[in-house]
Structures are given as structure tokens and as C-alpha cells.
Amino acid sequence: MKENITRKLDELGRIVIPSDFRKKLDVKTGDRLRVELVDNTLILQKSIPTCVLCGKAEDLNYESHNKYICEDCLETILMNAKK
């Protein structure tokens, strides 16, 4: 697989990510990508949802406005609310 491909930016600032790259990164339609600028280099990375409270990526239960809470944190919140 080629690791270096030149693409033209369209009038809205978009580029097409080559299918080989998408397959290698397991990026599918609708997936979120993290876009980061580091030392004049643009980095695209598949975004993995994590709990906003503890950072855990497993057992995500509640989502609102692209913010996630894992089952453990949700249980803690609900237990504290009952007190």
C-alpha cells in the first residue's frame, strides 16, 4: 500500500481519504475522526468515544451531545442522587 498520496482540496476544504487508508484504520462512513495540528502537521485519527468522567472506553451507557458516561460512573451518579 502506498503511504503517501497527494489529494486536491475542494472548495469547502474537503479531501477524500483513500480507501486503502480507510481500510487500514478501520474507518467507515459515519465514524468520527479527530483532527489535530502538531508542528505544522495535520493529523487525522479515528476517534474512540470515552467516558467524560473516568476516560474508560468500555461499557459506555449514556450519550448526550457526543459526550459519553460509562456504566460504572452512571451507577455512581445514580447512587449519589438517591442519598
pLDDT tens digits, 49-78? 899 999 998 999 877 787 899 999 989 989
d(CA 7, CA 17): 8
Instruction: Give the confidence band of 4 by pLDDT, cuts at 50, 70, 90.
Output: confident
**Residues near 5 by beta carbon (within 8 Å), at least 6 away in sequence:** 18, 21
Give domain limits for the chain. Answer: 1-47, 48-83
Report CA 83 to chain centroid distance, whole Å. Answer: 35
Q: Which CATH number fits domain 1-47: 3.40.50.300, 3.20.20.70, 1.10.606.20, 2.10.260.10?
A: 2.10.260.10
Which pLDDT score is estimated for 10?
96
pLDDT at 1 over 70: no
pTM, entire model: 0.57
The C-alpha atoms of residue 79 and residue 75 are separated, in whole angstroms, by: 6
| pLDDT-above-70 percentage for the chain | 98
- Cα dist. 57→52, 68, 80 in Å? 10, 9, 23
Q: Say if CB 34 and CB 45 are below 8 A apart.
A: yes
